[in-house]
Amino acid sequence: MKKLDFSWIQRPGFPGHFFAFALGALLPFSFAPYHYWPLQLLSVALFYFSIKSLSPKTALWRGWWFGFGTYAAGVSWVYISIHVYSNTPQIPAFLLTLVFVAGLAWFFAIMTYCYQKWFANKPWGFFSFAAVWVGFEWIRSWFLTGFPWLYLGDAHINTWLAGWAPVFGVYSIGFIVALSAAYVIDQWGNKQFKQHAAVLLSPWLVGFLLSFIPWTESIKTSEVVAIQANIAQERKWLSEEIYPTLEKYRSATEEHWQADIVLWPETAITVLHHQAKEYLKFLDESGKENNTAIITGIPYQQGPQEAYPGAYHNSILGLGLAEGIYHKQKLVPFGEYMPLPDSWRSLLGFFNIAMSQFRPGHADQVGLKYESDELSYGIAPFICYEVVYPDFAAKMAKDSGLLVTISNDAWFGHSIGPKQHLGIARMRALENGRYLLRATNTGITALIDHKGQVVEQLPQFEYGILRADAQIMQGNTPFMIWRSWPILLLVIMSLTSCVWLARKQSRSSPSSGKG
């Protein structure tokens, strides 16, 4: 039988690039809502195989096509926000989505170029491949405010690798995945491959054992409520909807005064903070009388005596037994700001809608506080997109008892975006060893435990009230203490060691020349 020839995958040209595009498009199926995580290993392994023989310049384009496939399949739901809810015509909205996806693909392009230029075909090349991959995941978390979406590690909330999350975070899981995939390719066909398999499986086994360590402990069981009002996005900001919306949340809350915490979604109150003073005063007093903490999303405008008079913030406010106000720091591209020059604004209807001109809050803010006669603890608040940042979440969560996140994923319709968002929130709960209560306007409202497992959730696009018991936790996971610094140090050490070994090998090899 004729042996199949797969060498075309490694050759320059469009067939190889298209194959990389297909591999990239396969990658999002390893994340929520699909959770086909073995596809991730296959995708990364074959992508590594496809670039091994390429020049750096060709590898750059191979990486771009892989990234384009990944983001086209994984985050093109931003089109819904741009077109449906931003009044941008179809063609401009499509082009903006294309620009967004194509721009993100350059992270993979530059990553692949760097690997092929300086680290490929060197000792322990598979190790440096994992280091470069995770290094660029980290860069994605902060470059141009960051877009930490579709990290390899987020796909492994239900695998043995999840045990690494409370120790070294999501980047460590991504490192192991990329390392495993590249190692299989490098050792494939080796007579000692079976012996090498034990080395390959060891970090997976260690992750399984780590999952049994109780990094944090419960100090109290609290009854929590999250309200999913299911208000249509196209009607939410209409003036005639203000009073019915406020009444809807008030009446739902009054039915659950027995709860310790009642959580409302992002911008549940659709008027500015100073315009709702009497309403907020009533809620605050009622919450105190009934020993209930009420936490709500609300837009906030700075007053004349504040740092930026007139500036708007997307905020979260504590009332009743909850105290404090927090202004969102991480804003959503195509949801709260447009990552394009200001000169484009006149061409698009996007900037004329609510929630598109918010200013980020200061980095030195603290979270909310729950204060009762029996107990006092911190509540780490995250507004929508903020929960996807691993190190930011760990910083906010430190010494808290509970994580809360509010969102309005109605911006992204019936796409997979809200489901991906919930999946990422699960990883944050696991990394920080805390229960996470999530309230959204149209879904997915849920309670997640300290192991990253969903305790309760409501169906999307239905009115509902989630009622469940959450454990208030104490203690810090290792990741909360040192965050991503150990894995970043590993990345740096891996790359420098690879270069050092290559130079040492080059010096020790007998020089060759023409005889």
Find out whether 324 and 318 touch, Cβ atoms under 8 Å: yes
Helix (H) or strand (E) holding 223: strand 217-228
- Residue ranges in 165-210 assigned as alpha helix (H): 165-168, 170-187, 193-210
- Which residue matches tokens 């603890």? 377
Q: Is the peptide bond before 444 cis (omega within 30 degrees of 0)?
A: yes
266 as an active site residue: the answer is yes
Per DSSP, which regions of 261-396 are E strands?
261-263, 293-301, 312-320, 322-323, 325-327, 368-371, 376-383
Per-position b or e across 428-457, b if 16+ CB within 10 A of its CB: bbbbbbbbbbbbbbbbbbbbbbbbbebbbb
114 as an active site residue: the answer is no
Find out whether 167 and 477 touch, Cβ atoms under 8 Å: yes
CA distance 313 to 80: 23
Residue 400 structure tokens:
């808290």
- Residue ranges in 272-416 assigned as alpha helix (H): 277-289, 390-397
Nearest 5°: phi and psi at 130?
-65, -40
DSSP code of residue 337 = B
Non-local (6+) Cβ contacts of 340 within 8 A are 96, 99
Nearest 5°: phi and psi at 473?
-105, 155
Catalytic one of 330, 384, 451, 498: 384
DSSP for 413-482 reads: TTSSHHHHHHHHHHHHHHHHT--EEEEESSS--EEE-TTS-EEEEPPTTS-EEEEEEEEEEES--HHHHH
Catalytic one of 137, 266, 336, 431: 266
386 as an active site residue: the answer is no
Catalytic one of 236, 328, 330, 451: 328
Which residue type does 365 have?
Q
Looking at the chain, the number of H-run helices and the number of E-run strands are: 16, 13
- Residues designated catalytic: 266, 328, 384
